[in-house]
Amino acid sequence: MSEAGIPAPEGASTLIQTDYEVGQDNIVKQIGPFGLDVHNPVFMISGLTIVAFVVLTLVLQDQAGAIFNSLREWLTSTFDWFFLLAGNVFVLLCLFLVVSPYGKVRIGGKEAVPDYSYSGWFAMLFAAGMGIGLMFYGVSEPISHFSSSVAENAGAPDSWAPLGGAPGDAVAARHLGMAATIFHWSLHPWAIYAIVALSLAIFAYNKGLPLTMRSIFYPVFGERTWGWPGHIIDILAVFATLFGLATSLGFGAEQANAGLNHVFGLPVTDASKILLIIAITGVALTSVVAGLDAGVKRLSEINMILAALLLLFVLIVGPTWAIISGFFTNLYQYMRYLPELSNPFGRTDDSFRDGWTAFYWAWWISWSPFVGMFIARISRGRTVREFIVCVLIIPSLVSVFWMTAFGGTAISQIVNDGYQAVVEAPLELKLFSMLEALPLQAITSFIGICLVIVFFVTSSDSASLVIDTITAGGKVDAPLAQRVFWASFEGIVAIALLLGGGLGALQAMAVSTGFPFTIVLLLACYAIVKGLASEPR
Which position has the higher pLDDT, 525 or 123? 525
What is d(CA 187, CA 82) in angstroms, rounded to the nearest whole number?
A: 18
Which position has the higher pLDDT, 364 or 500? 364
30-34, 297-301, 350-354, 411-415: range with lowest mean pLDDT = 30-34
> In Å, how far are 94, 140, 198, 397 from 394, measured between CA atoms?
14, 23, 16, 5
What is d(CA 341, CA 334) in angstroms, rounded to the nearest whole number?
A: 9
Q: What is the pLDDT of residue 273?
A: 86
Most confident of 124-138, 139-153, 245-259: 139-153
DSSP reduced 3-state for 91 = helix
130-139, 221-230, 426-435, 512-521: range with lowest mean pLDDT = 130-139
- Residue 15, pLDDT above cutoff 70: no
Q: What is the pLDDT of residue 126?
A: 66
- 130 pLDDT band, cuts 50/70/90, is low
Chain-centre distance for alpha carbon 344: 22
474 DSSP assignment: S
- Residue 484, pLDDT above cutoff 70: yes
Label residue 176 exposed, middle or buried (CB < 10 Å: 0-12, 13-18, 19+): buried
413 phi/psi in degrees, rounded to 5: -60, -35
Q: Tell me whether residue 2 is in a domain.
A: no
The closest alpha carbon to 48, from 448, 471, 400, belongs to: 471
Q: What is the percentage of the chain residues whose pLDDT exceeds 70?
A: 84
Q: What is the pLDDT of residue 424?
A: 87
Q: What is the pLDDT of residue 286?
A: 77
The pTM of the whole model exceeds 0.75: yes
Question: Do residues 206 and 109 touch, judged by C-beta distance below 8 A?
Answer: yes
Q: What is the pLDDT of residue 242?
A: 82
Q: Tell me whether residue 4 is in a domain.
A: no
Q: What is the pLDDT of residue 383?
A: 93
Assign residue 258 the CATH number of its domain. Answer: 1.20.1740
Q: Tell me whether residue 8 is in a domain.
A: no
**Helical (H) or strand (E) element with 391:** none
137 DSSP assignment: H
What is d(CA 441, CA 129) in angstroms, rounded to the nearest whole number?
A: 27
Question: Do residues 100 and 532 touch, judged by C-beta distance below 8 A?
Answer: no
DSSP reduced 3-state for 106 = strand
- 64 pLDDT band, cuts 50/70/90, is confident
The closest alpha carbon to 123, from 352, 338, 390, 382, belongs to: 390
- Residue 23, pLDDT above cutoff 80: no
Question: Do residues 303 and 448 touch, judged by C-beta distance below 8 A?
Answer: no
Q: What is the pLDDT of residue 39?
A: 58
Q: Tell me whether residue 465 is in a domain.
A: yes
Range of the domain at 488: 17-533
How many distinct structural domains can be found in the chain? Answer: 1
Label residue 18 exposed, middle or buried (CB < 10 Å: 0-12, 13-18, 19+): exposed
Q: Tell me whether residue 335 is in a domain.
A: yes
Considering Cα of 318, then 151, then 165, then 142, what sign does the dihedral take? negative
- Residues linked to residue 31 through DSSP beta bridges, in sequence order: 37
What is d(CA 457, CA 494) in angstroms, rounded to the nearest whole number?
A: 13
- Residue 426, pLDDT above cutoff 60: yes
DSSP reduced 3-state for 427 = helix
Q: Tell me whether residue 304 is in a domain.
A: yes
- 9 pLDDT band, cuts 50/70/90, is very low
Q: What is the pLDDT of residue 402?
A: 93
- Residue 136, pLDDT above cutoff 70: yes
CA atoms within 13 A of residue 328's CA, in its CB half-sphere = 4
What is d(CA 437, CA 419) in angstroms, rounded to the nearest whole number?
A: 8
Which position has the higher pLDDT, 468 or 92? 92
Helix 394-417 to helix 187-201 angle (10° resolution) is 160
- 292 pLDDT band, cuts 50/70/90, is low
348 phi/psi in degrees, rounded to 5: -55, 135
Provide mean pLDDT across the span 315-326: 93
Q: Tell me whether residue 22 is in a domain.
A: yes
Q: Tell me whether residue 163 is in a domain.
A: yes
Mean pLDDT of the chain: 81
- 327 pLDDT band, cuts 50/70/90, is very high
- Residue 5, pLDDT above cutoff 50: no
Question: Do residues 382 and 103 touch, judged by C-beta distance below 8 A?
Answer: no
Provide mean pLDDT across the span 488-513: 76
CB atoms within 10 A of CB 517: 25
